[in-house]
A = this chain, B = another copy of it.
Amino acid sequence: MKFCSSCGAGVALRVPPGDNRQRFVCTACGEIHYQNPKLVTGCIPEWEDAVLLCRRAIEPRYGLWTLPAGFMENEESAQQGAIRETLEEANARVQVEQLYTTFNLPHISQVYLLFRGRLTNLDFSPGEESLEVALFREQEIPWDELAFPVIYETLKFYFQDRKQGVFLPRVGDIHWRSRELGKYSVSMLET
């Protein structure tokens, strides 16, 4: 950020009075421009013992598999966002059932909210951002070709919980250890 979005003057990094962090503050009108984490909302679309995954047609992670998810929009709920993303990426309709995983990704200032959702029918097809969409049973999941750690961890918990017959909401953090190598650590709040 270099310019004030309200008046167009330059901004400077300063700690505003009463605050304890540097913010972008307008040098002319004084407006403080806070920057905050973004919410990503999505779902695990379920059909019998399978889940629907999308193969990404966009960067990052082009060609890898993911759950339908994307940035939450203003004036919608996270559940509505999960339904919207599933429709956009997989032309699929789901009924949202449970908030399943909540993952903090502090290194990129994102929070993922991933719901369990029941597919209302088998009418699905790739949306603009997907190369391919398909249903996978546990033993068919392309574990080595998943796009993001948050997807891997969510699916891992999902199939664990399904064996037990109880889906416990999971809350945790994913920390990158090394961006290049894709190494990360996971810490979960006790459930």
Chain A residues with CB under 8 Å of chain B are 1-8, 10-11, 18, 21, 33-39, 71-80, 96-99, 102, 104, 106-107, 109, 111, 113, 128, 169, 171, 173, 189-191
Nearest CB of chain B from residue A22's CB, rounded to whole Å:
11
Number of this chain's copies in the assembly equals 2
Contacts of A99 in B (CB 8 A): 102, 169, 171, 189
Q: Which of chain B's residues has its CB closest to A35's CB?
A: B74
- What 4 A-B pairs come out closest when comparing CB atoms? A77-B104, A3-B8, A74-B109, A99-B171
Give Cα A26–Cα B42 distance, bound, in whole angstroms: 29
Nearest CB of chain B from residue A63's CB, rounded to whole Å:
19
Contact (Cβ within 8 A) B98 A189: yes
Contact (Cβ within 8 A) B7 A5: no
Q: Known contacts A2-B8, A4-B3, A78-B111: does B189 contact A72 (CB below 8 Å)? A: no
Contacts of A4 in B (CB 8 A): 3, 5
Q: List 6 A-B pairs, Cβ < 8 Å.
A: A2-B7, A36-B71, A75-B107, A76-B106, A98-B189, A98-B190
Give Cα A106–Cα B72 distance, bound, in whole angstroms: 11
Give Cα A190–Cα B116 distance, bound, in whole angstroms: 12
From B74, B109, B173, B191, give the contact of A37 (CB < 8 A).
B74
Contacts of A8 in B (CB 8 A): 2-3, 8, 10
Nearest CB of chain B from residue A174's CB, rounded to whole Å:
10
Nearest CB of chain B from residue A52's CB, rounded to whole Å:
20
Contacts of A74 in B (CB 8 A): 35-37, 109
Q: Could you list 9 further interchain pairs (A-B, Cβ under 8 angstroms) beyond the known A34-B71, A97-B190? A: A1-B5, A8-B10, A36-B72, A72-B111, A75-B106, A96-B189, A99-B169, A102-B113, A111-B113
